[in-house]
Structure 1
Amino acid sequence: VERRIFTSKMWSLWRYGILLIIMVTPSHQQELSSQVLLDNISRIVDSRLAILDMRMNNIGSQLNDVANQDEKLMVRLSNNLEDKLAELEKKLLYNLEVKLSAIEEKFPNNLEERLSAIEDKLPTNLEEKLSAIEDKLPTNLEEKLSAIEDKLPTNLEEKLSAIEDKLPTNLEEKLSAIEDKLPTNLEEKLSAIEDKLPTNLEEKLSAIEDKLPTNLEENLSAIEDKLPTNLEEKLSAIEDKLPTNLEEKLSAIEDKLPTNLEENLSVIEEKLLSHMEENINQEDRIQGVNEMKMNIESMEENIIAAMNRSSVLLQKAGSTRCPEAEGFFMSSGLSRQCFKFFMDIERSWDSAVSKCLAEGLVLAEPYDPVMVKNYIATKYGMTGWTWINGRGSGSYITWQRSEGHIMSDIPYWYSGQPGSSTSSSHCLLLMTRQYHMKNYPTQAFYANTCTSKYYTLCELLME
């Protein structure tokens, strides 16, 4: 290409030179000059062509060198790539082997024995029971499952991950401990419970499902946010407080249950359904959800209190009676506490303590404050509140006799209570006004200055 361009330029230059010479050279010298000029041009063209040949040879040599270098580079790249792939394969195999070993180490050594033990515990008529359960499943089960799936929160995976992070690291040991505490006749007890289930259970569950609030997901999220951060420690504390003879005590309690338990449960269930219908018809429908939240959040304290008192209560049952005199009443449920209510005058908290001592009693520490509050408000048509045996200790309200902290995150507290300024000058009240019983049925506690004057609730300690 360069040679063609050069040749074209040289011929152009030659033509322009010839014309110039013809213009400036006399006519008698034109032939001689033209010949000389042509010779010169020919020599120049030959010289330029020789230079171009040398350049073309150099370019060819350089192209050969580049081709050789490319070939060497391809060989080196191929060798390096093969080495890298081999090294990567070794690393992957090593990491895979390490992970498999770690997974294998996490399996318990006695896995086969445990599986055999579980297999031995399976009932022999398992197939029949599964068939019976299958027969009881509703025909529109798929639709109900779809409805439940639609109600599941969109961020379910994140919530499950958060729950998984809160699980204790020694979960396997705790499950083993719980498995060891299970009664040997668990299958018989479950069968007895199954026999006591009402035949129209499906209809009742459907009725309850229809009455669930539409904003259930938001309420559950709010409940989850209110769960204490130290839940794992509290559960461990509950487990440590479980009595070793729990099975015997449960059997004793089961023996004392009335024979007409199913009828009583049906009556209670009807009352609950009626109460739920009344609550739904009220303007503040959230109270039913608040009650559910109270039951969930108070489960921890109820278990602790019940376990701490179970051994004492089993010994006390029937041994001491609550007086039938005016003002005395007995709480319902397992606690069976005996109280006496004084509404003769309103007193300060210290005066209420002195009044109870003068009567041979102590200021009350009710295990079920909601029941006691509702009883007093209903029985006496109350328009005031009532002192009980809690007083400020640091930032907590503390039971003065049992010395237990009343945690600020339990559902018994009125909204905003206890305040951040709680101190020893604050004492604990039962919200026994009828207004609060109707509008705040699950909230019972309020902290106020100890010098304020209210009614008095005493307790007879049953020895």
Structure 2
Amino acid sequence: ECPNESFKLEGIEWEFKIFFDELRNWTNAKKKCEAEFMSTAHPSDKVAVKLRKHLLESCGYVPVWLNARSDGTKFVWQDTKTEIHRNDDLWLIGDPTSIIDHSWHYLDRRISIHYCLNLEVFFDSWSVRPRHVYASRLCAHHFYTLCEVCPEGFFSIQGSQHQCFKLWNDERRSWKQAQSKCVDENSVLAAPADDVVVALRQHIVVEYG
């Protein structure tokens, strides 16, 4: 059954939520996720394959936006600023420089800043293209919105770009002890951007006093 609420994939800690209320361009999909205190999905390659399989089997044709877009020469995840593999069988047509237009013509062209990353949930059968998950699409095109939900016990701050936070208020710790605690919990010590710190502080004051 196609999920209308948040859902999890087996063996994956993160939850996802897909919005069917309207089709959005890449920018508006990003804004929708942030307005819901989530972020546009940034799955690992392995998770992207599982995610595509799940959506194909549950929903059929539901292409969705992912967190990355082109900077003019390469595709970059917007939260981590890391590049996506260029020549890989994960791309629908082999690499991100090959673009599909609405007539399904393959157009080889230089990557421009107007292209964003699409999770290619196009085919009815999983057996057709099991690993072809990524495709270059014009950011202005309209697709469904897929957001990532913080794991249970974590929270997100609007505009924090895919960061989930958890406050351990069981005891006071030194910086080194706090770092060790985060590592023990399979996390890392928070490193919010300057513009997120104020909102993060306000959230902690309101929620924890």
Asked whether the equivalents of residues 337 and 366 of structure 1 are also in contact (C-alpha less than 8 Å), the reply is no
Q: Structure 2: which 5+ runs fail to align?
A: 98-108, 155-209
Which 4+ residue blocks in structure 1 deviate beyond 2 angstroms?
Answer: 433-438
Q: CA shift at 1:436, angstroms?
A: 6.3
Match for residue 394 of structure 1 among 51, 69, 72? 72
- For 1:456, give the aligned amino acid: T
Aligned counterparts of 2:88 and 2:125: Cα–Cα separation in 1: 18
Normalization by structure 1: what TM-score? 0.28
Residues 1:343 and 2:20 aligned together: yes
Using CA pairs under 8 Å that are at least 6 residues apart, name the structure with larger relative contact order, 1 or 2.
Answer: 2
The answer to whether 1:365 aligns with 2:42 is yes
1:396 is matched by which residue type in structure 2? K
Letter in 1 for 2:120: M
Q: Which structure has the bigger radius of gyration?
A: 1
SS in 2 for 1:346: strand
* Paired residue type of 2:111: T
Higher strand share: 2
Report what 2:121 is aligned to: 432
Mapped pair 1:414 → 2:103: no
Task: State whether structure 2 residue 83 is matched by structure 1 residue 405.
Answer: yes
The percentage of counterpart residues that share the same residue type is 27
Structure-2 residue corresponding to 1:450: 139
Instruction: State the distance in 1 between where 2:138 and 2:18 align.
Output: 21
Do the aligned partners of 2:88 and 2:95 also contact (CA within 8 Å) in 1?
no
Q: How far 1:338 sits from its partner (Å)?
A: 0.9
1:374 paired residue among 34, 46, 53:
53
Is contact 2:87–2:94 with CA below 8 Å preserved after alignment?
no
Q: Do the aligned residues in 1 keep the contact of 2:55 with 2:62 (CA within 8 Å)?
A: no
Secondary structure of the residue aligned to 2:33 is helix
Shift of 1:379: 1.2
Letter of the 1:431 counterpart: E
Tell me the distance in 2 between the aligned counterparts of 1:429 and 1:384. Answer: 11
Structure 1 position 373, deviation (Å): 0.8
Q: CA deviation digits over 1:7-62, x for unaligned, max 9?
A: xxxxxxxxxxxxxxxxxxxxxxxxxxxxxxxxxxxxxxxxxxxxxxxxxxxxxxxx
Deviations 1:273-301 (A, max 9, x none): xxxxxxxxxxxxxxxxxxxxxxxxxxxxx
1:235-264 residue CA offsets vs partner (Å, 9 max, x unmatched): xxxxxxxxxxxxxxxxxxxxxxxxxxxxxx
* Counterpart position of 2:189: none
- What SS class does the counterpart of residue 379 from structure 1 fall into? helix
State which of 61, 75, 99 in structure 2 corresponds to 1:383. 61
Q: Is the 8 A contact 2:63 2:119 kept in 1?
A: yes
Equivalent residues of 1:411, 1:442 under 8 A apart: yes
On the 8 A contact 1:386/1:431 being kept in 2, the answer is yes
What secondary structure does 1:434 align onto? coil
Which runs of no fewer than 5 residues in structure 1 stay unpaired?
1-324
Secondary structure of the equivalent of 1:336?
coil
Q: Under a length normalisation based on structure 2, what TM-score does the superposition of the two structures give?
A: 0.61
